Structure 1
Amino acid sequence: MTYRFTQALLTSALILGIAGCGSSSTPDADIDAAQQPPEASAAEQAKPPISKFKAYTQRFGGETLLTQSHATGHVGDWFFTHWKDGGEASFKLDPQGNFKIDWIGGDYNYVGGPGWERGDRNRVIGYHLNEDSGASYVTLYGWGYNKDMDPTDPAHLVEYYVVQRGVRTPGQGGEEGVSFTSNGVEYTTIRTVRREKPSINNTATFYQYWSKPKEQLPLGQDHKIIFADHVAAWERNGWKLPDMDNFDASDDPTYQVFAVEVFMVEKGGTVSGRVWDAGP
């Protein structure tokens, strides 16, 4: 299962600090430097400013190592999430999208990865994995939310997974939908429901949509996730994905990240690689 952090925890996480790799300065100096953000790119300047979720505005210009329990923000133009409910896990990210996630043991829940603070059904994600020593899921991950729908209808809030690798079976006990092929990979769609569980909008009842590959995607190769194919397949089942580009939820925007999730695994491990925007 997946747990979510609250905005209060995000705020407290800022106090814990984020240390930039390769720096000889003290942790406090790193925090002060991080609060002086680099100039935003033209693409970032074109977007409305983030005002609701203050933690998302912190920016780091160079390779950054996250070791605390909760953190979010940007390294260069890459948005990131980093969350755990215990144990020891770290996340390193640089402005080129190179990342490395290490965890010790697995009797806790960890979710983290690089991506975007706003989801996009037409996004094409490129990635290359150097190593994966046993994550629960390596997956494109995100949320859709419609504040105008009935909150008792699970369809108003959706947590989605486009799984690429993993040691756990995705969508166990769920409703199986259509199978389809995207970019040469065969997937099966699955829908599960979470009742009164933590989410980006406090505690809620919501759907999870899954795309499960027939076989794990291999390491050491470039891969592409064409997200529109997955949205279309879910919709062929009648499973609509709510708006993925909003800041309406109480705790987080509808972000979209290439995530590593770890829970109920037997031992520690590492996932490393690179992510890039493969769209036109």
Structure 2
Amino acid sequence: MKASHLRTGALALSFSMLWACSGQNDTEAQAQQRLEPVVDQSATKITKFKAYTQRYTEDTVLTQNHATGHVGEFFFTHWKDGGTTTLDLKINGEFSVEWTEGGYNYVGGPGWHYGDENRVIAYRFDADSGANYITLYGWGYDKDMPKDDPAHLVEYYILQRWITDPTNNGDAGISFESNGVEYITYRTIREEKPSINSTSTFYQYWSKPLTQRELGKEYQIVFADHVKAWEQSGWILPDMNNFDASDDPTYQVMAVEVFNPAYDGVGAGKVWDAGIK
């Protein structure tokens, strides 16, 4: 976990320790520190979000409208504004999303509670009944940028499979190759829509491959290549490693998204960090 996760809590802890140790020599201060319990600051801070449920140690199924948390070592997001979509999560990164027809939007899947530019994401999809998007999905947020600048909050997608073309009304950027796959970048804007920071106006960055990924095969997404391509398009991704937003952390997940589905369906697969499997 990066040091920026510990900003507020660690600073407060540091100041209190300096005050408490002001009358001690170094040996006494070090002994006192060893007796202090170690606090997981990230676990403390992540509970500030109302949707965060808990850290599950066993496989679980999510059915509520908005839930985030951890299953084993994987963070998950599960968000819908209607319908009866469920997210079935295993502690080893396997998951399935089952949806029913209706007029609503859903997005969810497992991953990590922060984005990491150096992460290589590995995945395999075994079922897809027609999700609008199968995608690496996440957010960046900079609370210090002006809120009227859409670049302060960015929702990003690295598409792998889709039935809806999200780029028709977007600004095209550049074409580039990553891990043997050719992509094109696009940018769109969302005005006063739900986000990890309440209702906001924000940009969406897209990487769309020329061909869709097949089911039943393992793939890797080299995230750094996409961050670089967005930058070369003139689009900077804000901080992906913070708890500053109001509703969720700046997570990064392998997601299934459906909206206004015309029929029932399922998307199922597995995700893992390519450097850890």
TM-score (norm 2): 0.81
* 1:234 CA displacement: 0.3
Kindly indicate whether residue 42 of structure 2 is the aligned counterpart of residue 48 of structure 1. Answer: yes
Distance in 2 (alpha carbons) for counterparts of 1:94 and 1:78 = 9
Kindly indicate whether residue 269 of structure 2 is the aligned counterpart of residue 270 of structure 1. Answer: no
Distance in 1 (alpha carbons) for counterparts of 2:268 and 2:59 = 14
Kindly indicate whether residue 94 of structure 2 is the aligned counterpart of residue 98 of structure 1. Answer: yes
SS of corresponding position for 2:263 = coil
Residues 67-100 of structure 1 show CA distances to partners (whole Å, capped at 9, x for unaligned) of 2222211111111111111112111111100101
Distance in 1 (alpha carbons) for counterparts of 2:194 and 2:66 = 15
Residues 107 and 54 (structure 1 numbering): CA distance in 2 closer, same or farther, change over 3 Å? closer
Kindly indicate whether residue 227 of structure 2 is the aligned counterpart of residue 242 of structure 1. Answer: no
1:212 to 205, 208, 212: 208
Kindly indicate whether residue 153 of structure 2 is the aligned counterpart of residue 157 of structure 1. Answer: yes
Kindly indicate whether residue 249 of structure 2 is the aligned counterpart of residue 253 of structure 1. Answer: yes
* 1:57 CA displacement: 6.0
What percent identity do the matched residue pairs reach?
A: 63
2:56 to 54, 57, 60: 60
Residues 214 and 50 (structure 1 numbering): CA distance in 2 closer, same or farther, change over 3 Å? farther
Contact 1:106 1:262 in 2 (8 A): no
- Count of residues paired in the alignment: 236
SS of corresponding position for 2:164 = coil
SS of corresponding position for 1:118 = coil
Moved more, 49-58 or 79-88: 49-58
Query: How does 1:136-151 map onto structure 2 within 5 Å?
Result: 136-151=132-147
TM-score (norm 1): 0.81
Q: 2:43 corresponds to which letter in structure 1?
A: P
Residues 112-152 of structure 1 show CA distances to partners (whole Å, capped at 9, x for unaligned) of 10011111111111001111110000001011011111111
Distance in 2 (alpha carbons) for counterparts of 1:195 and 1:68 = 26
Contact 2:75 2:113 in 1 (8 A): yes
* 1:267 CA displacement: 1.4
Distance in 2 (alpha carbons) for counterparts of 1:198 and 1:53 = 15
Distance in 2 (alpha carbons) for counterparts of 1:272 and 1:46 = 32
Distance in 1 (alpha carbons) for counterparts of 2:44 and 2:135 = 26
Distance in 2 (alpha carbons) for counterparts of 1:57 and 1:82 = 11
Gaps of 5+ in 1: 1-44
* 1:106 CA displacement: 4.2
Distance in 1 (alpha carbons) for counterparts of 2:255 and 2:202 = 20
Contact 1:50 1:56 in 2 (8 A): no
